[in-house]
Structure 1
Amino acid sequence: MRGLAGGALVAALVATGACGVDDDEPLIPAASPTESTAIDPGDSGIPDVDAVMPLPAGAVISTGIPGDLPDEDDSCNLLASLRPDDADPEERVPTIIERGRLIVGLDQGSNLFSFRDPASGELTGFDVDLAREISEDIFGDPDRVEFRSLTSANRIEALEDGQVDLVIRSMSITCERRERVTFSVPYYQAYQRVLAVRGSGIENIEDLEGKRVCLASGTTSAAHLWEELERITVLSVNTWADCLVAIQQNQVDAITTDDAILVGIAAQDPYLEIVGPQLTAEPYGVGIAKSTPDNNTDGLVRQVNSTLARIREDGTWNRMYSTWLSGLGSSPGMPAPIYLPEPAR
């Protein structure tokens, strides 16, 4: 099967017209005839066909630096957010109180963070638990949450269009994203690493030179690859579950993203392992629409930060970590908050 899957990428490269690909010398070689599954037309009357694995829906292949990579801009006050105040939820988030539910955008296929339990069919995971804690503090009820599935690529647009109140989707805080959305203080500190097949010879990021790597569209994971490597093929997909399928079908050699996401992928396949040192730090924050005269979201930011302060102090965060992320080792503790100075009155 690993030999067959190479043909799928060649077909996709031709179909999508990926930049930098020479039709005469494809970057990823096609499967040889001996590796293809074919039906003898003389016996069945069915044309001879190669059996190749299709790429995930919406997958995009890049062999040159994509034009939409997040900027490596560290000029902003990256981790600072509004300090919780003494107001009640009725004062902070009256529109949400009146609606009767909190609308949260997340991923439904990110194992350990937000995924559907195969037994119950219910959404569960670290990010889901966090959403329920915020709902508990607003309504006194953890179940007053409406979850909406988002991809990494459309989560900012969902906030800007008012489709969701919050995005809790392992979303790294960056200066570029801060130009479009507001963040809570960090609720988790992740680090980019690499996931590969055991025994593949891939042990660190340098071993990805000339290899095929999967990542989710709209994430910060690609930027470090292009900084460190000269020749690489990137498969961008909609969800991390798509990356798991791609590596199992030998369509890619590795996956790179935050260690917290990789441990959830590795838990689903014993032949995969996280390799190499920690790369870039990735602080996760709750995404919130920017405040405008027509939609003042400052109260919602303070409400979320109030919940984060509570779960840090009462041990809830550590319990959530033990439940979902203990595969990464002992609890590192929730990141310490940094608050913006309050305006003078």
Structure 2
Amino acid sequence: MAIRRVRAGLKGWGGVGAMAAVCALALAFVLLLPLTQSPGPDGAGTGGPGIAEGVQTRAVECRAPEKQTLAPSRADGPTIEAIKNRIGARRKLVVGVDQNSYRWGYRDPNNDGAQLEGFDIDLVHRIAADILGDPNAVQFKAIPTDQRIPAIRSGRVDMVVRTMTITCDRLGEVAFSAPYFRTGQQVLAAKSSSVTGYDRSLAGQRICTAAGSTAYTRLAKDRAAGLLAATADISTTVPNQLDCLVRLQLGEVDAVVTDGALAASQAAQDPTVELKGAAFTTEYYGVAMKRDADDLVRRVNRVLVDYRGSGWQTSYDRWLSATLGKDSAASKPPAPQYLRTS
């Protein structure tokens, strides 16, 4: 009954957008299941109350965070050996991903088995093939935005491949690969909205961001510095970014701020919303791992060297060209630099 009421309330937003909202609400419980029920890579349950507790971070001197990574190497080390030594059905790469970001990591109900697919998922399969010799030797775990770092630090996952921006703050808690995608923060709102972009038109508007996202961090800093109108309401945060689209469709917020690459995919789901203005930051997605997993970081960087030459463009053409345009130049990561030495 609840879902029928929501569906009825969404009339006027367009069939695709309404269904996106209903599906996202229905997925809320599914997204939380891996946090409480899934075993960690060692087979022990690691979900539960302790996972979101604060952790002490290592201080990191940070300049150009996308360059603070280790040089590529194919050599196995203790982290990779531990992955390879898993027995039987557990001999898999355990990866935190999204399952409701259209074209990035999502389940298409029209496909057989509704398997996870998308740009991030293609990269996961490539890494698994290199480390374990089997692109399907992967255990996917759906991780909410604000649980990405706790999932890595607790050992619930070997890595996170989930449109995760490399930042100086995050480098104090996890290690990143070299960038595999370039994007920037952008505003999403209804086509009929008076919002024109990241500007004065946001005054008095209710803005939604994902908890733990770089979007919220930027909005909070800009408002404190007087660069964002003091009347802009940034109090609405959600576990997963797609929930912001649902809030927008329900009329609970007036605008969404998120990575432009994700916003474009959401606009493709709902023809009544659109990107407003240009991107106002430059950000890079990276694969996140434990800080002491040096061999795994180096191995992923080795995979990315090959992937940029063979695989990246194919994946872009398949998943993202329809939402970001056929010209991928603006989305390609820069030539990698490896400034981290230890």
Q: TM-score range by the shorter chain?
A: 0.7 to 0.9
Alignment of 1:135-284 (within 5 A): 135-206=128-199, 207-226=201-220, 227=222, 228-234=228-234, 235-284=236-285
Q: Residues 90 and 97 of structure 1 are in contact (CA less than 8 Å); yes or no, is this contact kept in structure 2? A: no
CA distance in 2, matches of 1:198, 1:287: 35
Does the residue aligned with 1:213 lie in a helix, a strand or coil?
A: strand
Q: Which has the higher helix share?
A: 2
Q: Residues 179 and 284 of structure 2 are in contact (CA less than 8 Å); yes or no, is this contact kept in structure 1? A: yes
**Shift of the alpha carbon at 1:236?**
0.4
Q: Residues 98 and 105 of structure 2 are in contact (CA less than 8 Å); yes or no, is this contact kept in structure 1? A: yes
**Shift of the alpha carbon at 1:231?**
1.2
State the TM-score, normalized to the length of structure 2: 0.74
How has the CA–CA distance of structure 1 residues 342 and 180 changed in structure 2, closer, same or farther, with 3 Å as cutoff?
A: closer
**Cα deviation 1:161-197 (Å, max 9, x = unaligned):** 1000001111111111111100000111111000111
CA RMSD of aligned residues (A): 2.4
2:297 is aligned to 301
1:21 is aligned to none
Q: Residues 182 and 287 of structure 1 are in contact (CA less than 8 Å); yes or no, is this contact kept in structure 2? A: yes
Q: Residues 77 and 295 of structure 2 are in contact (CA less than 8 Å); yes or no, is this contact kept in structure 1? A: no
**Cα deviation 1:109-139 (Å, max 9, x = unaligned):** 1111111111231111111111001011112
1:85 is aligned to 73
Counterpart residue identity of residue 328, structure 2: S
Between the two proteins, the alignment pairs up a number of residues equal to: 271
How has the CA–CA distance of structure 1 residues 75 and 138 changed in structure 2, closer, same or farther, with 3 Å as cutoff?
A: closer
2:338 is aligned to 339
2:84 is aligned to 97
Alignment of 1:65-76 (within 5 A): 75-76=62-63
State the TM-score, normalized to the length of structure 1: 0.74
Q: Residues 284 and 333 of structure 2 are in contact (CA less than 8 Å); yes or no, is this contact kept in structure 1? A: no
Does the residue aligned with 1:170 lie in a helix, a strand or coil?
A: coil
How has the CA–CA distance of structure 1 residues 177 and 249 changed in structure 2, closer, same or farther, with 3 Å as cutoff?
A: same
The reply on whether 1:290 has 2:291 as its aligned counterpart is: yes
**Shift of the alpha carbon at 1:280?**
1.1
The reply on whether 1:322 has 2:317 as its aligned counterpart is: yes
**Shift of the alpha carbon at 1:243?**
1.2
Counterpart residue identity of residue 274, structure 1: L
Q: Where in structure 2 are there 5+ consecutive unaligned residues?
A: 1-5, 7-21, 30-53, 55-59, 223-227
Of all paired residues, the percent bearing the same amino acid is: 39
Does the residue aligned with 2:85 lie in a helix, a strand or coil?
A: helix
CA distance in 2, matches of 1:150, 1:249: 24
**Shift of the alpha carbon at 1:77?**
4.9
CA distance in 2, matches of 1:281, 1:334: 11
Which gives a bigger RCO, structure 1 or 2 (Cα 8 Å, sep 6+)? 2
